[in-house]
Structure 1
Amino acid sequence: MSTDTKPISRKHRLQFAAIRAALGLMRALPYRWRVPVAGWIVSRIVSPLAGWPGRIRDNLSLIRPDLDRAEVARIIRACPDNFGRTLAELFSPDEFVARVQDIELEGPGLAALEQARTEGRPSILVSGHFGNYDVVRAAVIARGFEVGGIYRPMNIPQFNEIYVDTISQVGEPLFSRGRRGMAQMMRFLKGGGTLAVLIDQRLPNGEPLQFFGHRAYTALSFAELALKYNATVVPCYGIRQDDGLSFRAVLEAPVPHSTPTEMTQALNDSLEARVRQHMSQWLWFHRRWQDIAPTQGDDT
């Protein structure tokens, strides 16, 4: 139940009614159609209305000016399509988990997680808004790990309840961004838990590190926590395959402990390498390279 006692605005009521109707229509479709239909709707309807094509084009012009017009046009369509498919998957937790829980976990990261668990140490799984970032979380949970996640509360209270209830079906515990949630997260990590995080959001307290050769403000907090609690840090990725429904799950070698800046830059470099291999699977409409004044927040 929600503990929010603030009155709900008319705007939020209307937005929630539209979201609930859209979710209802999506859930009426079989999963194998629900996911591509959601991708089509977000790519062909939501994206133009939200102005995403311009943002994607601007980011690509800055980061990959070498791309030809046909490739830029493809990414403008495919990036929102991947985002829409990911949303449909996250709001279909039963079917999604059933599809990915037995997926092969490639790379040396799984052995590193198992070693940390044997030693009673925590681990941090690090990814970005790439492919479907919950693939690895679901697959690692299916192998007996308790994996906590961090979420940003939605602005619409009723939708936030649905959102939290839905993502909790993939796995718990979940920690809300904010003082209380972060305190709970640190206790969980200190106790030897595994935490799944995303590091590619533009945050006001971030350091001006490099991403695709340009300044991108990136939080050092997870590297700092890794050093504080001797946590294993594993870059990981759920890479969507050509059929649009299946994935590869890759857990890379752990990032060696050094300084928070060096470790976080290594995580940025890891994500950049994956994005370069699968350009349309990253969130190109995010204002990743925009400068931030100290009092500003994130804005996608």
Structure 2
Amino acid sequence: MKQPSFLQRCQYALEYCGARALEGLIRLVGIRRGAVAGAFFWRHLAPFARQHRQAHANLKAAYPDMPEDERVRIVSAMWDNLGATFAEAIVLDQLAGPEADIQVNGLDMLQAQRQTGKGLVMVSLHAGNFEALGVPLAQNGLAVAGMYQKIRNPLVEAHVLTARERFYTAGLFAKGAASLRQVMVHVRHGGIVAILADQRTMAGISVPFFGRPAPSNPFPAMLARRLDVPIIAARCRRLGPARFAIDLEAVDVARDGSVDADVEETTARIQARFEAWIRECPEQWMWGHRRWSPDKA
């Protein structure tokens, strides 16, 4: 692996110091006030980013009949949510504290599944505060492993992983070929893994999403089909600053055809579940990424 240059190391150090200073400020004012401030700043600064234009383009394609003022409202509310999420994630441990409130709907289904001793695949999406999912699971004694996207800055990544490890007590796996094998072993031996599966995966398979083909991650479906384990979808709904409801719902795993056909069908079912949830609260999903192929918004 190529070593970072001196200037890169200086940049990493400055970014890390800035992140820790912001963390200290949020701890000083409390997570709820920090979330309100994060929402305010992101709402006013994010419109200058490329992702703002992308969010409008995606919404227009997904809801072609939506009035422009409603689209503007949803994108503005989306930045509110993401700004609050950013602030809350910086002090992730405080989501388990007295200022935070996380309700879980469907926890009994998850606990009943654990009694079988079989592994379990959880899929989630970038909605509400998607970083909050692991908190109530750990609080209820469920050891869950998570998959994550590596952060370019190694200092920031180490700090973020330390915060997440408190709630993902079965381990954290960076996305990559080696991690896929480790996750398969973990689930085969009765473990739970949580995977964010709503973003574009160009090496994946295209299934319908808001009426258009969307390259999607087949790995959760493949795990469930090959290891004969269930899938539970999870979403986080923001109720207020540091206040959430997490909804759990089983996804039927196709087992009637070839492995490839069943994986494609199950992947489509996962994305259909995500779409239904997004339609309920469109302002809480992350519209600013390129979910579809470049020529299709």
Q: Shorter-chain-normalised TM-score: which range?
A: 0.7 to 0.9
Q: How many residues are aligned here?
A: 286
Q: Distance in 2 between matches of 1:226 and 1:101?
A: 33
Q: Provide the rounded CA distance (Å) in 2 between the counterparts of 1:220 and 1:208.
A: 9
How many Å separate the matches in 2 of 1:161 and 1:135? 19
Contact 2:56 2:71 in 1 (8 A): yes
Alignment of 1:24-39 (within 5 A): 24-39=24-39
Q: In the TM superposition, what is the alpha-carbon distance from 1:104 to its structure 2 partner? A: 4.0
SS at match of 2:242: coil
Q: Is the 8 A contact 1:90 1:166 kept in 2?
A: no
* SS class of match (1:192): coil
Matches within 5 A, 1:128-147: 128-147=125-144
- Partner of residue 274, structure 2: 271
Q: Distance in 2 between matches of 1:147 and 1:83?
A: 24
- 1:50 counterpart residue number: 49
Separation in structure 2 between the aligned mates of residue 99 and residue 238 of structure 1, nearest angstrom: 19
Residue in 2 that maps onto 1:236: 234
Residues 10-64 of structure 1: per-residue CA shift (max 9 Å, x gap): 444444444344333333321120111112222212x133223211111111111
Q: Which of 177, 184, 207 matches 2:182? A: 184
Once the two structures are superposed, the pairs formed by residues 244-255 of structure 1 within 5 Å of their partners are 244-255=241-252
Deviations 1:183-240 (A, max 9, x none): 3222211111111111111112111111111111001111111111221101111111
Structure 1 Cα separation of the partners of residues 50 and 26 of structure 2 = 23
In the alignment, is residue 60 of structure 1 matched against residue 59 of structure 2? yes
CA distance in 2, matches of 1:134, 1:19: 17
SS across alignment from 1:217: strand
- The CA deviation string for residues 89-148 of structure 1, in whole angstroms up to 9 with x for no partner, is 2222222023699844324xx344333322210111111101122333221222221111
Task: Name structure 1 gaps, 5 residues minimum.
Answer: 293-300
**Contact 2:100 2:242 survives alignment (8 Å):** no
CA distance in 1, matches of 2:95, 2:184: 28
Equivalent position of 2:259 in the other structure: none
Q: What TM-score results when the alignment is normalised by the length of structure 2?
A: 0.88
The equivalences for 1:1-300 within 5 A come to 6-7=4-5, 9=8, 10-45=10-45, 47-98=46-97, 103-107=102-106, 110-172=107-169, 173-241=171-239, 243-258=240-255, 259-291=262-294
**1:227 to 1:39, Cα distance in 2 relative to 1, 3 A:** same
Amino acid paired to 2:104:
L
Per the alignment, in what secondary structure is the counterpart of residue 252 of structure 1? strand
Q: What is the CA deviation profile of residues 74-98 of structure 1, one whole-angstrom value per residue up to 9, with x for unaligned ones?
A: 1121112211211222222222023
CA RMSD of aligned residues (A): 2.3
1:99–1:72: structure 2 CA closer, same or farther, 3 Å change rule?
Answer: farther
TM-score normalised according to structure 1 size: 0.87
After superposition, what is the alpha-carbon deviation per residue over 1:150-200, rounded to whole angstroms, capped at 9, x for unaligned? 111101111111111122223221111123333322221111111111111
Quickly say closer, same or farther: Cα 1:23–1:102, change in 2 above 3 A: closer
User: Using the alignment, how far apart are the partners of 1:152 and 1:205 within structure 2?
Assistant: 16
Report how far residue 286 of structure 1 moved: 0.8
For residues 102 and 282 of structure 2, the distance between their equivalents in structure 1, rounded to whole angstroms, comes to: 23
Confirm or deny: 8 A CA contact 1:136 1:238 kept in the other structure.
yes
Over 3 Å counting, the alpha-carbon distance change for 1:50 and 1:14 in structure 2 is farther
